[in-house]
Structure 1
């Protein structure tokens, strides 16, 4: 039986672990929060006290933490993955970080004998839990071929977007600039409908069957009209971070990102007002300005 590892067992990492176990892998995992560790053990995983322990005997380890500095510590720290992982194994960078941070990691690992697969994901909490994520994978073809069973266990779509660390993160930044704009436009449209007295169900029926309908819009609108603003697996901190990365890449390359910039400010407002909320909570900020709320049945 092949052994996989997951460092970071939150909304996304728990889904990776769940589907690796489902596909027959022995899975080791680590997280700082005891409740996450307990849930992972309940799935049949082997909890570890450090990334180093996760990496011992694992052929591949997914790193699903929040920030580039956290990724660096997981890999290079005193109890990091590089202290125990065998040559020829792979670190699968599934977290979303800055492209420049991924390039730095790749450069630092160049002589380690351990592969780095830069493959951020898309699909959110539902995709992670269902094993239907889209992967933006960057590594030499031979490396991707060798570790394809690990990637296939957690995804429905694997796109080979480049060969170097940072290539996957660059594509993810472009994607998040679009998704952020879709979210923010949905929040504004929801507030407009609320002020005009349109029931939420009517708006959802029309949007979901129109050319504007898509997974991002439909899911966001469902959460808004049912007033589900926390605990849905899409914490606002993640999208706020991703938009920050996209804006930073635009600044680095001299590309104006007007729409993504507006989305960034909407998410910044939502995060400032409701730091424990999910993405859709941004709508509440706009609703409070206009004095109306959008409910499924049109009630106030």
Structure 2
């Protein structure tokens, strides 16, 4: 789109501003921004968080990397999509970096929540009890509050955020960690868990579909006290 044949770099000038809202390698965003600048244009990266509901309601969190003056050029447009515009830093790619931090936490917490709840189910607790307690306690997580009600508890996994995308973002986050010298053993193991779901053909389902795979591994199959009427 930017650097390919017939891409934006071939037509960009000083009047143009590119807003990259994808979640890609922050180093790639930074390199593209420098190429855009060499042709007189401007670019920021502005990945989002908040899910399908946030996109529909215009309440996304948008994480912006780039000079504030450049952000100001498109602030009003971004505000239509996002209720929270957060300037992550003056360097293009900083938005992507904080997005990867966020998605790494989300990806890990989905697996951690599933492991804990499956343990509770096998120990005799009801799903209702665990949801009611954990949702208002220190163990509350974004997946529990926002994915479980619409996917796990209904056994419906049409994607809000595809497993393939979570696997991709976990990989980018691990790459970032490697670049800056941070050991991430938990993140690495969790990415392998998502890979097992992709190997089972679930890549285009919501990433919370890993609950089903983990339930099977725990010997629970569909005996989880959840509506089993859909797949």
The reply to whether TM is greater than 0.5 is yes
Runs of 4+ in 1 over 6 A off after TM superposition: none
Are the aligned partners of 1:197 and 1:298 in contact in 2 as well (CA < 8 Å)?
no
Which residue of structure 1 aligns with residue 119 of structure 2? 192
Are the aligned partners of 2:109 and 2:141 in contact in 1 as well (CA < 8 Å)?
no
Which residue of structure 1 aligns with residue 156 of structure 2? 228
CA displacement 1:142-177 (0-9 Å, x = unmatched): 111121111111101011111111111111122222
Q: Distance in 1 between matches of 2:228 and 2:45?
A: 45
Pick one of 92, 99, 110 that aligns with 2:37: 110
Q: Distance in 2 between matches of 1:198 and 1:297?
A: 17
Which residue of structure 1 aligns with residue 176 of structure 2? 249
Pick one of 153, 165, 168 that aligns with 2:95: 168
CA displacement 1:50-105 (0-9 Å, x = unmatched): xxxxxxxxxxxxxxxxxxxxxxxx11222323344553221111100111111211
Pick one of 202, 214, 220 that aligns with 1:286: 214
Offset of residue 282 of structure 1: 0.9
Are the aligned partners of 1:199 and 1:296 in contact in 2 as well (CA < 8 Å)?
no
CA displacement 1:3-30 (0-9 Å, x = unmatched): xxxxxxxxxxxxxxxxxxxxxxxxxxxx
Which residue of structure 2 aligns with residue 240 of structure 1? 167
CA displacement 1:211-267 (0-9 Å, x = unmatched): 2224332223222121112x2321111111110001111111110112222221221
Which residue of structure 2 aligns with residue 178 of structure 1? 105
Q: Secondary structure at the match of 2:38?
A: coil
Q: Which runs of 5+ in 1 are unaligned?
A: 1-73
Which residue of structure 1 aligns with residue 24 of structure 2? 97
Pick one of 55, 67, 70 that aligns with 1:140: 67
Are the aligned partners of 1:137 and 1:158 in contact in 2 as well (CA < 8 Å)?
yes
- Identify which of structures 1 and 2 has the higher relative contact order when contacts are C-alpha pairs closer than 8 Å and 6+ apart: 2
Q: TM-score if structure 1 supplies the norm length?
A: 0.70
CA displacement 1:263-292 (0-9 Å, x = unmatched): 212211122212332111111121111211
Q: TM-score if structure 2 supplies the norm length?
A: 0.89
Are the aligned partners of 1:90 and 1:115 in contact in 2 as well (CA < 8 Å)?
yes
User: Are 1:207 and 2:148 matched, yes or no?
Assistant: no
Pick one of 185, 188, 203 that aligns with 1:261: 188
Aligned length: 225
Shift of the 198–118 alpha-carbon distance from structure 1 to 2, 3 Å rule, reads same
Q: How large is the Cα RMSD of the aligned pairs?
A: 2.0
